[in-house]
Every structure is written in structure tokens, then in C-alpha cells.
Amino acid sequence: MTEILFAIILVTLAAGGIGLGLAFGRGPARTSCGAADHLTIGRCADCPLRRRTARKDAA
């Protein structure tokens, strides 16, 4: 019973933290693709954002 209560509290705190971040204008949480922007190797080869950027550069 303690583990379930702990898990519920943990998820509630995580959701509340994300909600507060969004409410105070921090912006949405980054996905793995969005976080890869700052890597030296760039985006993943099958990333849809990378394909969209490549199409814009080619046009």
C-alpha cells in the first residue's frame, strides 16, 4: 500500500511541476528530438523534424 501511495504522490508532483512550468511560461517539455538540437551529432536520421528542415533547405 505504501508503494502505491508513493507512486501516486510522485506522479502528482511530476505533473504539477510540468503544469507550473507551463503556467509560468517556460515552454513545453522537450521531446528527445527537441533535446537533440544541442548535440554535436545533430538530430536522429529518422527524425521528422530533421526531414522537414532538410526539405526547407533544399527548396
pLDDT tens per residue across span 3-49: 999 999 999 999 999 889 888 887 776 666 666 666 656 666 666 66
Break the chain into its structural domains and give their ranges: 2-58
Distance CA 43, CA 30 (A): 13
Confidence at residue 35, expressed as pLDDT on a 0 to 100 scale: 62
pTM, full prediction: 0.48
Confidence at residue 16, expressed as pLDDT on a 0 to 100 scale: 94
Statement: residue 50 has pLDDT above 90? no
Question: Given the C-alpha cell 532538410, which residue does it identify?
Answer: 54
- Per the CB < 8 A criterion, the answer to whether 33 and 49 are in contact is yes
